Amino acid sequence: MRARDLGITLEGNPGSLNAITDVPGVEVGMTTIVTGEGPLVYDQGPARTGVTAILPIGRDNVGKALTAGIYSHNGNGEMTGSHWIAETGGLTGPVMITNTHAVGTVHRGVIEWIKQNHPEMAIEWLLPVVAETWDGYLNDINGPHVTHQSAIDAINTATSGPVQEGSHGGGTGMNCYQFKGGNGTSSRVVPFGGHDYVVGAFLQANFGDRRELTINGVSMADLDVPNPMDNDDWYLKDVARSVPGGAGSVIVVIATDAPLLPDQCKTLARRVPMGLARTGTAGGHFSGDIFLAFSTANQGEIGSGFPAVPAAEAQLSKLEFIPWNYIDRFYTAVVQAVEEAVLNALINNETMTGRDGNMSYSLPHDQVKQRLGITN
């Protein structure tokens, strides 16, 4: 069940899947790791984690540069490769999302995948894009549960169909507004110049205090949710604690098939906080809120990481782009899609018990409907 299924009214016209994969060419794959129960045993579990791979134009086209831009709303987080995106305005590979302490492992996993599938790229230098949020409340985050193969499998299983929301892939162990969080996605159709373009959002939601949560302008601060300390399991008496609020981070990826300049991609990324704010967050100091936007149009025109032909044989490139004075409708699409993606991450989810019996409860649907006056 997603936000619209629950009866929540949301603005804008979504694509057929209401997902980032409504953007033609975009594929999403995930590796989900859920093992073990009970007290934490370092390096053994329990594990509640994973890896998400977003392929902007599929596996075969890795290496073909797209226009892209990044924006850091709050920098207590990581997105590798971001400096090169900022420098060149180009994105040439998959976008990976995992937990905070698995960034290096996934980074190496992407390199291994490129060695196997695009050796002509691997012979040059690589700067994989890997972003993260913290899942240490539910997961043995210091354990070696995410492997190089986890990243490889996420890339290899990427498809253009429906996207798994909630507790899957990199979002497996995440919390949002102190409820069970994780993956959310949504899309909006934007007509322009006789074409129906799509703006899609995917996020790994791991942010917010419960007292901040707002849906359709209605506060959800005091929803009735069980206290983890009420559990009778012996190990909860000493170590169980509340889901951390405020910190944890959120990574958002915006994709569109509308032709955009790199600076226009960056302006789309800068609108992400407005969509997040519609759900209540003010952006916590210890939350890494980092956003990436890319366009699948003008493929390869911006160049690549290394010269393809000698300079004497090279040709000028040309970029089509939406005129700046018509960009507002795309800003609106970003804000609307991000808001809905957050709600989908919360609603399309289930309660999870993790390491040391720590519990993250799913958003109570009935209470939300009651607050919003939804009667269906």
Annotated active-site residue in 249, 295, 360, 362? 249
DSSP 235: T
| Residue 217: other Cβ atoms inside 10 A | 8
Catalytic, 160? Answer: no
Residue 161 corresponds to which tokens in the numbers above? 């169909």
Distance CA 54, CA 40 (A): 31
Q: How many CA atoms lie within 13 A of 174 on its CB side?
A: 42
Query: Do residues 368 and 344 make contact, with C-beta atoms less than 8 angstroms apart?
Result: no
At 337, which amino acid appears? A
CA distances from 361 to 15, 308, 312, 355 (A): 30, 51, 62, 14
DSSP 242: P
Residue 311 corresponds to which tokens in the numbers above? 């300079």
Annotated active-site residue in 287, 295, 360, 362? 287
Residue with the two structure tokens 């044989």: 313
Tell which residue, 245, 248, 265, has the closest CA to residue 257.
265
Q: Are strands 129-133 and 95-99 parallel, antiparallel or unpaired?
A: parallel
In sequence order, what are the beta bridge partners of 292?
70, 253
Catalytic, 289? Answer: yes
Annotated active-site residue in 289, 356, 360, 362? 289
Catalytic, 72? Answer: no
In sequence order, what are the beta bridge partners of 132?
98
Residue 352 corresponds to which tokens in the numbers above? 């999870």
In sequence order, what are the beta bridge partners of 51?
31
Distance CA 240, CA 217 (A): 32
Residues that are catalytic? 249, 287, 289
